[in-house]
Each structure stands twice: as structure tokens, then as C-alpha cells.
Structure 1
């Protein structure tokens, strides 16, 4: 029988793949500010009125303090450290009762110590790490509460109104404004006042030695007893005015200031 020839398999013509055209780059001659960049630019704006007060339409930056979460973390770290403290006390007591000598030597324990000594060293390292985390969290949270004030109802309303009008970010990501009792306001004026207060303390610290030296300079420069007495009284009155009108008065008690003046 002859071989039956079969037709070659039929392959339908395939279309070449459609490659998406490479998008052209943005026009860098324009500046399009949207989304979080738009919100950040708005929060960066300072007060526009001449008195330095809150200008109409200004949005004061505010952020959540996450007070409940901060307390949750601090409570968790606190209990972890307390648990390690109890374990360390147990190991210390075990070593103290099993050691033939009452004198401890860290170097000897590192070289010839038992399993309890190595366990105690490892535990001290873990406590060191946990204490660092705990101290940093506690200090950071305390500083935040001390330096920042809660956002007022008017400030939250102004922020919320601007967000509703411009809608720079998704609604789900703007819900932090609904946590009114958890919002802290970041005021540029308050930060400047803190810096000014630090400068005032530095100036007062530099002025104290000068106040003590001025009478001596007056005695050496001004001739005559009456002239010297007049200058000393004048300088003393000025110094009393400076002390009373500034924060220097709170550095010492009234009795201590009297003793200093009589010296």
C-alpha cells in the first residue's frame, strides 16, 4: 500500500504583539503640584498677615500623637524589662548561694564561669537593649507632649475645610483629622519662642559675671568718694531692675539674693 500523505498542520496567521508606545517625558517647564506635595506645600505656608497671627485660609500642621499606642508600647516594654529583672534576680541568687567565695570577679566569670555566669551576661545584654528602647520611647513621648499643644477646634476645622475643598489625598488617608482628641498642632511661632527663650537664658548667664564686675570697674575709673558712691547706687538699682524684670529672680530665693547683694 502506498503511503498516505497528510496535509501539513494549519497555523493561522498571528498578529505581531502590540507594544505600548513609550510615554513621553513630562514638560518640565510646568510645575504641577498635586497629592501629598500639594498638602505639604500648604502646610509649609507661614502666616501672611503682618501681625504674625493666623491668617485666613492658613492650615496649621497637625499630626496624631498616637497616645494609646505609645502607652501600649511603653507598657509592653516595661513588663518585658520587669520580667528580665525577675530572672536576673533569680540568677544572681543562684550564683550567690553556689559560689564558694563572696568576692565577685567579672574577668574570672568571663574566663572560668559556669553556665549561670554566661546566662547572666547574656541577660544583662538583653536588658541593656530593652532599657535603651524603653528610655528612648519614654523620653520621646514625654518631650512630644511637653513641647506640642493639642490642636484647637478652630484649627482642626480650618484643616478639614481645606481638605474637603482641594481633596489632595484619598479620603481614607485623611481620616486622621477625625481623631480630634489625638491631634497635636505644630506651630512655627511656638518653636521660635522656644529658641528665643534659650537665647534669653544664655544672655542672662553671660550677664551675671558682668553685673558683679561693674562696681569694681566704677571704683577704679570714677574719682572721688561721692562720685563712686553715686555710680555704685546707680549700677545697683539697674541690676535690681534687671533681676526683678527677668527670669533671674526665679533662680535664687529672696534671702539668697539679699546675701549676694551684701557681699
Structure 2
């Protein structure tokens, strides 16, 4: 009875169209069309003004964008759970198909043929093929999301506080955007990042721990350079001994070569910092004594 007594509301009455004296409809006046813009000049406003400021190399305003850390994790977690669910379904189908094999457990199982399943498989085989297609699409989405997130995390760094303040002051001064669309600077300062190469902190100094780790590498490089100089310093006096007839001349050449090799090595590779000065003196004296003994063993040519 309630449905029968209910009356639908009547549609709102529309005002009648104004009719002219000649019987035709009178069209309401339309706003005039805007004049054609003057393309000889450029009026900057809105996002165009902000984009040009961010593109200027000499601008104090550096490009800053939200990383959307929370949303990235939500998406990755969602895709991860979807893939886990599909993985469980695939395991179930694999187990069902494996138990469908009539081969007795004590005998070797029948080899599986994907081609045979595609042509003469049962409904459960078709379900598994369809499930593999869904897994492929979902895995592709997950891999793209993970690659994009890790690439962003590796190529950008957190925005410096002074860059955020310079950005905010510029927006307050020129007001190119609505206040609502600039709230990402106030409400998400920890989520702001500076793209790689856009900040003055493009090449940050390594942390103290990493700098200490590079010292052994530098010492290894210096030691390798020292080993490269050592054969030359050892062989050159031996080659010259046959050309120098006197023992005094051979000793003088040995001392000069030893001093020159040390000076060149210390100036170019900073080998001197590897050992204390006293140990270098001991090594130099031992080298000179060995070369002097070799010089005495080489026959002296008579004048």
C-alpha cells in the first residue's frame, strides 16, 4: 500500500523560452569572445613560471619533489602479497597434477611434456597455464615497481633544509600556485628529495667510516707503484757497472740512482708515507751496501 500511495515528485518546471515577435526563439546574449593573445610577448604565470625558474641554472630554487615513500611501500607490499597468493595457487595445482600420475610410487614417474599438456591436457592443466600467464603479468608489474623505486632511491638524496627554505621563500614571494598545491613543502619535508645533479650536494663527501676504508686501498696503490720502480732501480746500476771502469764511479752512480729513485717515487706516489723516515733510511742504506758489494764483484777495467 505504501508503494501504491507514493507519488514521484514532478520534474522541476523549466522556464519558457523567450519568443520573439516574429515567432522565432530569442537566443540569450553570449559573452563576447576573448581577443586573440599578443604572441609577441610572453606572460609568465602558474606552473610555467615555476618550471622556468627550476630550469634556470643560476636560480637559487632547486628542483625538489616528493619521494612518496609510503605509497611506494604500499604498492610494493600489495604486489608482493598478490604474487605470494598466486605462488600458493601454483603450488597447489602442481601438487594436484603430480598426484594425477597413475605411475606406482615404486616406479619412475612419467616424463612431463608441456607440449603434450597444451594439446591433450585436462582442465587442470589449462588452469595452470592460465595461472602462469597471470603470474607473468603480475611479476612484470612487481619488477617494474621495484626497479623504479630502487632507481629513485639510488639516484636522489634527501633535500637539504636550505634548499627547502629557498623554495618556500620564492613561492611566498611570487605566489605562482595556489596555497593548497604548495603544501608538499610544509607537510612532507622528510619525504622531499633532490634529483641527482640538481643540488650543490651532488658530490657529498664520504662518511668517516668509508673514508677510513679507502686508506688501505691508497696504500696498496702506492705499494704497487713502489714495486714498479724497484726493478728499474735494481737493474739500472747493474747495467751501468760494465760501462764505468772505476769502483768509486760505480758507488757514486749507485748513490745517485738510489736518491733519484726515492725522490721520484716520493714525489709522484707518496710512498714515503708508507714507512717512517728511519725505516726508509735503513732500506736505502741496505740497498747502497748491496749495490756496493755487487760493484766490487764486477771486474774493474784498467786505465
Matched, 1:41 2:52: yes
Matched, 1:25 2:25: no
Q: Which has the higher contact order (CA 8 A, sep 6+)?
A: 1
Query: What do you get for the CA RMSD once the two structures are aligned?
Result: 4.0
Aligned partner (choices 78, 81, 84) of residue 83 of structure 2: 81
Against the structure 1 CA distance between its residues 59 and 165, is the aligned structure 2 distance closer, same or farther, given a 3 Å change threshold? same
Q: Tell me the CA shift for residue 22 of structure 1.
A: 2.9
Aligned to 1:170: 178
Aligned to 1:115: 123
Aligned to 1:184: 193
CA distance in structure 2 between the aligned counterparts of 1:142 and 1:108, rounded to whole angstroms: 41
- Equivalent residues of 2:62, 2:199 under 8 A apart: no
CA distance in structure 1 between the aligned counterparts of 2:63 and 2:199, rounded to whole angstroms: 12
Q: Tell me the CA shift for residue 166 of structure 1.
A: 0.7
Aligned partner (choices 65, 89, 97) of residue 67 of structure 2: 65
CA distance in structure 1 between the aligned counterparts of 2:149 and 2:189, rounded to whole angstroms: 18
Aligned partner (choices 143, 147, 151) of residue 155 of structure 2: 147
Matched, 1:98 2:109: no
Query: CA offsets per residue over residues 145-196 of structure 1, 9 Å max, x none?
Result: 12211112211111111111111111111111121011001243679869xx
* TM superposition score normalised by structure 2: 0.56
- Equivalent residues of 2:49, 2:176 under 8 A apart: yes
Q: Tell me the CA shift for residue 226 of structure 1.
A: 4.1
Aligned to 1:22, the other structure's residue is in SS state coil
CA distance in structure 2 between the aligned counterparts of 1:110 and 1:241, rounded to whole angstroms: 68
- 1:230-249 to structure 2, matched below 5 A, reads 241=269
Against the structure 1 CA distance between its residues 11 and 175, is the aligned structure 2 distance closer, same or farther, given a 3 Å change threshold? closer
Number of aligned positions between the proteins: 206
CA distance in structure 2 between the aligned counterparts of 1:139 and 1:191, rounded to whole angstroms: 24
Q: Tell me the CA shift for residue 24 of structure 1.
A: 2.2
- Equivalent residues of 1:96, 1:102 under 8 A apart: no
Against the structure 1 CA distance between its residues 32 and 102, is the aligned structure 2 distance closer, same or farther, given a 3 Å change threshold? same
Aligned to 1:18, the other structure's residue is in SS state coil
CA distance in structure 2 between the aligned counterparts of 1:44 and 1:19, rounded to whole angstroms: 41
Structure 2: segments with no counterpart, 5+ residues: 1-18, 103-108, 205-227, 229-237, 241-256, 271-303
- Equivalent residues of 2:118, 2:126 under 8 A apart: yes
